Amino acid sequence: MTPTELETQINAWLAPERFSDYAPNGLQLDSDRPVRTLVSGVTANQALIDAAVDAGADALLVHHGWFWKGESQTLTGLKGRRVRTMLEAGISLLAYHLPLDAHPQLGNNAELARLMGWRSDAPLNPEGIGNLGSCDPISGADMAAALALKLGQAPLWIDARRPIHRLGWCTGAAQSYFQSAIDQGVDAFVTGEISEPMVHLAREAGVHYFAAGHHATERYGVQALGRRLAEQCGLAHQFIEIASPV
């Protein structure tokens, strides 16, 4: 299939037009080469691009692409090198940000819940990004241990010293949703990152806060989307992990 046909198929599933995003969703770089081999990864950094070239990719599918609001619009320096590498290799780039967070089957939040065994029963916010739900009653220490086991790194945990049954979660940099989760009665909130004010909010609200890693919580949606494309479009698919501690 062509890169444009691949974009059309993904758009039919993820409906990016529904979101007011910080970045363009869809094709960010196209090529004349038909897509037979697809590589997926979290962020379109140079290491992932080089690995995609070595893997013989025709297209690279990521959650974090190249173009973000507030950044320079010039293709120079590191960004210019990334673009040149992909142009020379004839690889297309597709990136999906909020649409891939929100999808109820393929999204990062849905996949995190599946991985952790959490039950989702409502969206965390009106745009459908993040979830409210429940888990079997568990202590904060056991939740921290479960996250470390499943995600491969220990979360930063603010302990509320209460059992956890009701929880909210939103992958990546979603600490701005913490107050909404508190207002909706959670015992714990799981996201990727934490800032200094959130520590005090968690302590004073008596709600557990788990900063489990931006990268670590957002590995899974792009893999699910890649598998779906492989199954339904007859593509070869490979997820390539470029580790990040954040």
Residues of the binding site for a divalent metal cation: 63-64, 101, 214, 218
In a 13 Å sphere around the CA of 46, the CA atoms on its Cβ side amount to 8
Whether residue 204 contacts residue 148, with contact meaning beta carbons closer than 8 Å, is answered with no
Q: Which of 80, 75, 10 is nearest to 38 (CA)?
A: 10
What whole-number distance in Å separates Cα of residue 130 and Cα of residue 110? 9
Which is it for the CA torsion 19, 68, 179, 209, positive or negative?
Answer: positive
Q: Where are the beta strands (DSSP E) in the chain?
A: 26-29, 37-43, 59-64, 92-95, 119-123, 131-138, 156-158, 164-169, 188-191, 208-211, 236-239
What whole-number distance in Å separates Cα of residue 165 and Cα of residue 226? 32
Binding-site residues sit at: 63-64, 101, 214, 218
Residue 74, phi-psi category: left (phi > 0), alpha (psi -120 to 50), beta (remainder): beta
